[in-house]
């Protein structure tokens, strides 16, 4: 496949928002089963249903030609996909040729093995999901994870030259008493920390409303114990940032329920089976895999324009609703 078509107009949705950020789920599989993300017994897609790494690269390159400047590889867990390093290396060649940044969100389990490949490909920063430093709490949230392995991966990535941001989902009664200690640890290790409100995506085995913690209250707690100063830093995503005193650490907040950020949304998401979602909280989508396989790359531009023409103004998340906002799990859409 040849992705080298002439540049086309930048991607702008019907609300006038320029789309510059593509999140790609390279697999729906994960080697953990975090309670807020997945059911314990998950049914994953067969290999025949997912995009090849070549197809992911071709679609991504067309997005870059249309003005995407940042790509994040996600999952599931992206590092469980065989040969994912080849995709990282190929996309890394686009940095400076239209792409400003290639990055990844990972659970850290395989980070130590892949950090050098990431750095060589041009990745400079990554997000690592880590919801607790306590071994028992971490094992409970992930159902079988080993926090020592994740911490080793984080420190190996940092030492390899990657800037690491820890992503922590705030969960009432599970880890809300561990947020301040996590921030202390990030300060000591010169890492950034972003806190995230749990989102109603996919049916899980628990009631998310029972675990919901509003980050407004968390921030007030932290501000009473840490010198937090608003930081104008923007990472290209939805987080708002504060500098923690004179340390090297930034604190970020992603609060889709208590501080909606849809007005400035610049993101679309490509699933591992080639479906493009223009909103995390809606089911409107375009099947890019079928279009690519039937019409080749020439069919992609019209499909992208049609998708952006239907992008909603905002999500409809309601943590207290009887059913999730959408049936698909975060691991399907890409975290």
d(CA 315, CA 325): 9
CA distance from start to end of the chain: 28
Q: Which two tokens stand for residue 316?
A: 């409809």
DSSP state of 9: P
| 143 in a known ligand binding site | no
| 255 in a known ligand binding site | no
CA distances (Å), 33 to each of 36, 37, 283, in order? 9, 7, 24
- Please, which residues bridge with residue 328 across strands? none
- Please, which residues bridge with residue 71 across strands? 22, 102
| 81 in a known ligand binding site | no
| 76 in a known ligand binding site | yes
Burial readout 32-70 (b: 16 or more C-beta within 10 A, e: otherwise): bbbbbbbeeebeeeeeeebbebebbbbbbbbbbbbbbbb
DSSP state of 167: E
| 186 in a known ligand binding site | no
Percentage helix, strand, coil for the chain under 3-state DSSP, each rounded to 5: 35, 20, 45
| 38 in a known ligand binding site | no
Q: Which two tokens stand for residue 83?
A: 């040969």
Alpha helices per DSSP H over the chain: 53-65, 84-92, 111-121, 135-142, 147-159, 179-189, 208-211, 215-223, 288-295, 300-309, 330-333
d(CA 63, CA 122): 19
| 124 in a known ligand binding site | no
| 89 in a known ligand binding site | no
d(CA 255, CA 260): 7
Yes or no: say if 259 and 216 are a contact pair by the CB < 8 Å rule.
Answer: yes
Angle between helices 147-159 and 135-142 (to 10 degrees): 100
Query: Binding site for [4Fe-4S] cluster: which residues?
Result: 30, 34, 37, 262, 265, 279
Query: Binding site: which residues?
Result: 23, 30, 34, 36-37, 72, 76, 105, 129, 165, 199, 262, 265, 267-269, 279
Query: Binding site for S-adenosyl-L-methionine: which residues?
Result: 36, 76, 129, 199
Query: Binding site for GTP: which residues?
Result: 23, 72, 105, 165, 267-269
């Amino acid at each position: 496949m040849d992705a080298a078509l002439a540049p086309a107009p930048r991607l702008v949705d019907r609300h006038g928002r320029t789309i510059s950020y593509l999140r790609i789920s390279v697999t729906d599989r994960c080697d953990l089963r975090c309670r807020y993300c997945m059911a314990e017994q998950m049914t994953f897609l067969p290999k025949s249903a997912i995009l090849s790494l070549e197809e992911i690269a071709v679609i991504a390159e067309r997005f870059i030609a249309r003005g995407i400047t940042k790509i994040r590889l996600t999952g599931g867990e992206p590092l469980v996909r065989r040969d994912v390093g080849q995709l990282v290396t190929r996309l890394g060649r686009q940095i400076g040729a239209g792409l400003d940044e290639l990055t990844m969100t990972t659970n850290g389990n395989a980070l130590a093995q892949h950090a050098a490949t990431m750095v060589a490909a041009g990745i400079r920063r990554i997000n690592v999901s880590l919801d607790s430093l306590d071994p028992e709490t971490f094992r409970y949230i992930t159902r079988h994870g080993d926090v020592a392995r994740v911490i080793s991966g984080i420190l190996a990535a940092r030492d390899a030259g990657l800037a690491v941001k820890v992503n922590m989902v705030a969960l009432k009664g599970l880890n809300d008493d561990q947020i301040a200690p996590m921030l202390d640890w990030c300060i000591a290790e010169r890492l950034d920390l972003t806190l995230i409100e749990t989102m109603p995506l996919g049916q899980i085995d628990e009631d998310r409303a029972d675990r919901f913690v509003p980050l407004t209250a968390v921030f007030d707690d932290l501000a009473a114990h840490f010198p937090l100063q608003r930081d104008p830093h923007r990472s290209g995503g939805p987080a708002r940032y504060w500098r923690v005193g004179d340390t090297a650490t930034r604190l970020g907040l992603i609060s889709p329920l208590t501080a909606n950020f849809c007005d400035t949304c610049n993101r679309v998401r490509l699933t591992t089976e080639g479906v493009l979602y223009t909103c995390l909280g809606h089911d409107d989508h375009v099947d890019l895999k079928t279009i690519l396989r039937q019409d080749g790359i020439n069919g992609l531009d019209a499909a992208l324009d049609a998708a952006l023409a239907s992008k909603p103004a905002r999500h409809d998340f309601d943590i207290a609703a009887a059913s999730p906002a959408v049936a698909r799990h975060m691991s399907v859409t890409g975290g």
